[in-house]
Chain A
């Protein structure tokens, strides 16, 4: 046991245990426990942040889809509205045209009837006046003492007139 490599040294043994235990106590108190706690807290933070980010991503995705659906719907609706209004306009124009035509026809018919009416009335009036005139002439003729020659002359005149009017 003279070889210093294998010399039993209880003092060194005890010093090692003491040194190590003191170091362990000090490090555990001042370094390891606070550090491990901080690391665990940070891991928790990271895990939560990741979960939050994932949640936000999913939410964003959802919102994106939602807004896309809304836009799509709006586009469809817009097209529908445009189509409907085009059809409406078409229909309205047709209706207006029909109405205008109908009105024009009415006006024309009215005017024609009016003309006919007026014409008829004018003819009636002329007829009446001619009758009155004939009566007046006739009465004048009757009142006057007409001679034979005169009578003939009148007849002749009337006849000529008739023939003229016949022509």
Chain B
């Protein structure tokens, strides 16, 4: 409906709206036009939108890839890694030895490495899949050859951004898991009650506690909030920059009333700039996955090894 409205709006105005187009490409598909309609549970619409679909797609890819590689390696019975196992092993040992162990300590490495590894691989792949114009290619095919109806699955899946981690609902959910992991880690290491007592240093004068307890409680929520915003904003920002630069093509074409002007600007300015920013995005994709993972490990480590 919304897309149709946009289409009619565009047709009526006959003008290219860069803002609208960019938002359409980075935001989730409209909840009113989900890929799969599901009933509301307790007033929450559980319909599968584009970003839910992307999460599933990434989860499936990650699971199949990782499990296949690991199974093949374990089944070979040899301790020498081959092919893709080398890459996976490099990631696994790096996460274990350089992210988890320095933060949570030797005793808890085995407990928390799977969570941190899953965070890293899942976020990394979710970030990275946003750099691949998968659905743009599908949309092109659809427009040129398939002509599927806007109400079909294919017609719906080509709407909305592909980077699920650019949606702060997704990153908030991931940060919630970090939040839960911190509590579980503290409770496992010190007991549930002791974990909450550990939030503030012991043995201070009581007036300080009046100040300290609210600050620590705020800190409790600020950390996951920062994780949420950092990841979502970083994933959105680069995409918006690339899309804005690519919009020049259409803006100039419109401005000069000729497609040639648009193509010229595209070749000279937009594509080189977009390539540059995409290169930056590759770094951002890696760094943000790393930062989220590292901070989660740091927070878990802080709950386990309490220093004040």
Contact = CB atoms under 8 A, between A and B. Distances in A.
Interface of A: 3-17, 19-24, 26-28, 30-36, 38-39, 41-42, 45
Interface string B23-37: 100111011000000
B258 to A, nearest CB: 32
A141 B283 CA distance: 166
Interface in B55-71: 55-56, 59, 62-63, 66-67, 70-71
Given A5-B23, A15-B52, A21-B177, A33 B172 contact: no
Interface stretch (B112-120, B183-191, B218-226, B299-307): B112-120
A19 to B, nearest CB: 5
B104 to A, nearest CB: 14
A36 B111 CA distance: 11
Interface string B174-196: 10110000000000000000000
A123 B177 CA distance: 147
Contact of A27 (B79, B117, B177): B117
B261 interface: no
Interface string B84-121: 00001100110010000000000000100111011001
Interface of B: 23, 26-28, 30-31, 44-49, 51-52, 55-56, 59, 62-63, 66-67, 70-71, 73-74, 79, 88-89, 92-93, 96, 110, 113-115, 117-118, 121-122, 164, 167-170, 172-174, 176-177, 236
Contacts of B71: 30-31
Contacts of B122: 20, 23
A27 B52 contact: no
A19 B139 CA distance: 26
B173 A13 contact: yes
A147 B52 CA distance: 190
Contacts of B117: 27, 32
List 9 A-B pairs, minimum CB-CB distance, nearest first.
A16-B173, A4-B27, A28-B114, A32-B114, A12-B169, A31-B70, A23-B59, A15-B52, A42-B79
Contacts of A32: 92, 113-114, 117-118
A36 B96 contact: yes
B74 A35 contact: yes
Contact of A12 (B52, B73, B79, B88): B52
A14 B176 contact: no
A35 B121 CA distance: 15
Which of A23, A30, A31, A41 gathers the greatest number of chain B CB atoms within 10 Å? A31
Contacts of B93: 39
A34 B45 CA distance: 38
A21 B27 CA distance: 24
A27 B63 contact: yes
B177 A19 contact: no
A31 B236 contact: no
Contacts of B52: 11-12, 15-16, 19
A11 B177 CA distance: 16
B168 to A, nearest CB: 7
Contacts of B67: 26-27, 30-31
Nearest to B113: A36
B27 A36 contact: no
A16 B170 contact: yes
Contacts of B62: 23, 27
B55 A19 contact: yes
A165 to B, nearest CB: 129
